[in-house]
Amino acid sequence: MHTTIAPKTHLAPTKLASETYLLHDHQGEGTAPVCVPLNAMVIRGVEPIVVDTGMPEHREQFFADLFSIVEPEDIRWVFVSHDDIDHTGNVNELMDLAPNATLVGNWFLMERMGASLAVSPLRQRWLGDGERLDLGDRTLVAMRPPVYDSPTTRGLFDPTTGVYWASDAFSTPMPVPVRDVAALDPMFWDEGMLMFNQYVAPWLTMVDETRFQACVDRVQALGASVIAACHTPMIGRSHLDQALSATRRSTSATVAPQPDQAVLEQIQRTLGGHGS
């Protein structure tokens, strides 16, 4: 017996600001009650930059969407916000296809990726938290988000447009794929951020409250007009306060537990009940 799964929804890139586009992807649609965004971003400008590189299993769609916006030989920079596979999944292939690009990472990211990173140090630029990257018509600022799951994490802020790439922060599930958090039920979105923040960063419940709030203050002080990130639909100006508020409350929120062994056994029974 075969289980029929509807074709995966494809959202064409969303224009966030002048020359700035969110590349949409997700997983879980049709196999779970909710799905999880898996986004990347591209800024064209004088020296185009790709921000994160998606999952390897989504490679074909990632490159189709990316190269509908910018030609591979025009890409000058590839910024990887940290070393997780949903951000680095296509980095080696992209660097092969974009011969004029420099990979923007940091020392620890290179160390943690090891031999899986097939990009010569001669094609790398290391950018630390608070440092700047000159793209000719704009200067981007590396700004670590308040919530993260890797010590290599840096966000990226464009003062020219007000777009802030927040890596794994402000994450949320979606009942169905959407472009903008405005399409989500406000309570569902709020609970989703609280849950994802603690899943991504379980250390949140142990942090010094004053110091953590100062990290949120630092991001709020950017005055961003749009927040984009890997695991959230775009967050426009009208929803920024709610996103920051949920982040501030993540240290003390009570959230649903992660799926446990009982859930795995239910999945195993379901899979075992279907023929190949």
56-72 pLDDT tens trace = 999 999 999 999 999 99
Contact 107, 126 (CB under 8 A): yes
Whether the per-residue pLDDT at 274 is higher than 60: the answer is no
Of 80, 75, 24, 15, the C-alpha closest to 52 is 80
Whether the per-residue pLDDT at 260 is higher than 60: the answer is yes
Q: What is the pLDDT of residue 7?
A: 82
Residue type, 226: V
- Tallying the residues shown for the chain, one arrives at 276
What's the whole-number average pLDDT of the chain? 95
Residue type, 105: G
Mean pLDDT in residue range 140-155: 98
Residue with tokens 């195993």: 268
Q: What is the pLDDT of residue 2?
A: 47
Q: What is the pLDDT of residue 31?
A: 82
Of 251, 243, 168, 153, the C-alpha closest to 207 is 251
Confidence of residue 32 (pLDDT cuts 50, 70, 90): confident
Determine if the pTM surpasses 0.85.
yes
Mean pLDDT in residue range 66-81: 98
Confidence of residue 273 (pLDDT cuts 50, 70, 90): low
Confidence of residue 276 (pLDDT cuts 50, 70, 90): very low
Confidence of residue 6 (pLDDT cuts 50, 70, 90): low
DSSP-assigned letter for residue 108 = H
* Tens digit of each residue's pLDDT (9 = 90 or more) over 165-215: 999 999 999 999 999 999 999 999 999 999 999 999 999 999 999 999 999
**CA atoms of 246 and 191, how far apart (whole Å):** 8
Contact 128, 141 (CB under 8 A): no
Of 47, 51, 57, 126, the C-alpha closest to 85 is 57
| Letter string b/e over residues 97-127, b meaning 16 or more CB atoms within 10 A of that residue's CB | ebeebbbbbbebbbebbeeebebeeeebeeb
Whether the per-residue pLDDT at 4 is higher than 90: the answer is no
Mean pLDDT in residue range 239-257: 97
Confidence of residue 5 (pLDDT cuts 50, 70, 90): low
List the domains of the chain with CATH numbers: 14-272 (3.60.15.10)
Whether the per-residue pLDDT at 1 is higher than 90: the answer is no
Confidence of residue 233 (pLDDT cuts 50, 70, 90): very high
Mean pLDDT in residue range 91-113: 98
